[in-house]
Amino acid sequence: MSDDHSFETLAIHAGNTADPLTGAVVPPIYQVSTYKQDGVGGLRGGYEYSRSANPTRTALEENLAALEGGSVGLAFASGLAAEDCLLRTLLSPGDHVVIPNDAYGGTFRLFAKVVSRWGVTFSVADSSDPAAVRAALTPKTKVIWVETPSNPLLGISDIQALAGVARAAGVRLVVDNTFASPYLQQPLALGADVVVHSTTKYMGGHSDVVGGALIVNDTALGEELAYHQNAMGAVAGPFDAWLVLRGIKTLAVRMDRHSENATRVADMLTRHPRVTQVLYPGLPEHPGHETAAKQMKAFGGMVSFRVEGGEEAAVEVCNRAKLFTLGESLGGVESLIEHPGRMTHASVVGSALEVPGDLVRLSVGIESGDDLLADLKQMLG
């Protein structure tokens, strides 16, 4: 599949070549661990053992690379497995990382509780301010990590500006593109070195699979990551790879609808008397609105808001949801609601990343916008 096709076409066709044996138009689920060799070392298509490579996973990996404009894509068992592989490939004891002051709780936990035990240190900086990130660099810094839009405060960081900071310092910029998806935002084209995904979210899109991905356009780095992916082994299984590849085919139309519904939800919440603040990069009053408009095609499906009356009131709102499902995760076709302080971000309580108690996070799905607005209005009472 040539790279000059548009995103919507690549989403459906990249990596999805018809099965050479039968002509099946969808890559089969190669539910297999090992491959018959034609004489010792005589591999068919390079396949030898499914931790190293599996044809269904290859199809997904080629698709991921095409969608992010990279040369190498790698699929993992979860987003955190992808992050772990990346960090253990890039870092050694003594190295330092700058992480954002608003990040997925599990990412923070990986740095604070796991990677730190191996002698890697980190500083927390406001990544919406490139000067603050530059000021947090030390001679030992190897990586700047950023999530934009961020989870759960929907902060926006200027990828191009941070890529400039990283380049000047000779460090790598990693962008977690989970909230935007490659349809809305292309970090490699903006100068990032590595894109991270939890494919569990918008890429899979149907709340039926857990997966992760890394995409790079530096082929030497890609080979190093692939070496570690095989050496450490947290690969995506064939069925999981197939589900993500299937989900990606509708990514563009889903993201358009997610963004449209989220815009309506954010507008309604802005006018609601019980809502004290709405965090959505599509709103002109959002501090990152201009940057988001510059680097994103639309503003995505995630909306957070703060409720009058504090934490108990926010929990009460979540408990009254009917059409929105009370649950963790995001990015599926169905709308979800959660209380970050007590759910997804419980692991950052007491840290510099602690989130406000009166915060509610929505993953706005692709149901009828009218029905979603009606449910939110009854929740807010």
Ligand X SMILES: *Cc1c(COP(=O)(O)O)cnc(C)c1O
The rounded Cα 201 to chain-centroid distance in angstroms is: 7
Nearer to ligand X, 11 or 336 (CB): 336
Residue 201 among the catalytic residues: yes
Q: Compute CA distances 248 → 12, 63, 182, 289, whole Å.
A: 7, 9, 10, 27
State the residues that interact with ligand X by CB under 6 A. Answer: 78-80, 104, 106-107, 147, 151, 176, 178-179, 198, 200-201, 210, 212
Give exposure, 147-177, as e/b (b: 16+ Cβ within 10 Å): bbbbbbbbbbbbbebbbebbeebebbbbbbb
Closest approach of Cβ 28 to ligand X, in Å?
25
Q: Which of 19, 51, 109, 342 is catalytic?
A: 51
Name the amino acid, one letter, at 257.
R
Q: Which of 84, 176, 358, 375 is catalytic?
A: 176
How many other C-beta atoms are found inside a 10 Å radius of the C-beta of residue 37? 12
Closest approach of Cβ 182 to ligand X, in Å?
14
Q: Which of 57, 134, 142, 201 is catalytic?
A: 201
Nearer to ligand X, 81 or 161 (CB): 81
Contacts of 267 (CB under 8 A, 6+ apart): none
Nearer to ligand X, 204 or 238 (CB): 204
* 194 and 174 Cβ atoms separated by less than 8 Å: yes
- Cα-flanking dihedrals φ and ψ of residue 302, to 5°? -100, 130
Nearer to ligand X, 78 or 261 (CB): 78
Nearer to ligand X, 169 or 262 (CB): 262
Q: Which of 30, 47, 104, 280 is catalytic?
A: 104
Closest approach of Cβ 123 to ligand X, in Å?
19
Packing angle of the helix pair 369-380, 310-319 (nearest 10 deg): 130
Question: What positions carry a catalytic annotation?
Answer: 51, 104, 176, 201
